[in-house]
Amino acid sequence: PGSVSYDGSRSVPAVSATHVYSVGMTGQLFCIDRATGKPVWNVSLAATYPPKGDLKWGYSQSPVLHGSMVIVAPQSRKAGVVAFDQQSGAVVWESPALGTPGYVSPVIARLAGVDQVIMVSAGRDAVHGLSLEDGRELWNYGGWECRIPIPHPTALPGDRLFITGEYGAGSAMIRVTKSGERFQVEELYTTQECG
């Protein structure tokens, strides 16, 4: 995926009662059996979901577990976020392509009464809320932009989401609400300060 400054994974593994899930710097997603230490399955994100741009510093994201799924963000032209079955490695769902790649891990947050995947990508309309059921986009926010996003957003009480990044991006606070089936995003503030 590009040059790397040091060997080894840039991610924190996700651990279930029976397995460990990790994304390596070249985009290898592994499921490892905790009892035996042996691989159960693996997927090359770089081969299956080639990234839109150059990941100069390799894959730098942590997988997240939800129910029977392990969720990662290949940020490719084919899919922005993908959920795999924890036991088999089969694809459960793929989200639409989202934006250009960064180094952000997907997170799960409850906003507007709905558990969802929150993902940040580089470029415009960079902050996305995705359905945990099928990966469809529930909402997006385009008032904040970072050319190399790294920190994941932080969910706060009151259906708020704090987004921050360096490289001149600054920070933003938004609120996500829901009326019927429609989600709405309210910008509470922006600042050039990086939180």
At 81-108, the pLDDT tens digits run 999 999 999 999 999 998 777 778 999 9
DSSP-derived 3-state class of residue 8:
coil
16-63 pLDDT, tens digit each? 999 999 998 888 999 999 999 999 999 999 899 987 766 677 788 899
pLDDT of residue 8: 65
Express each pLDDT in 66-79 by its tens digit. Answer: 999 999 999 888 99
Residue 9's pLDDT is 67
Q: How confident is the model at residue 3 (pLDDT cuts 50, 70, 90)?
A: low
Distance CA(108)–CA(34), nearest Å, equals 24
Residue 131 has pLDDT above 80, yes or no: yes
Q: Which of 40, 98, 41, 38 is nearest to 74 (CA)?
A: 98
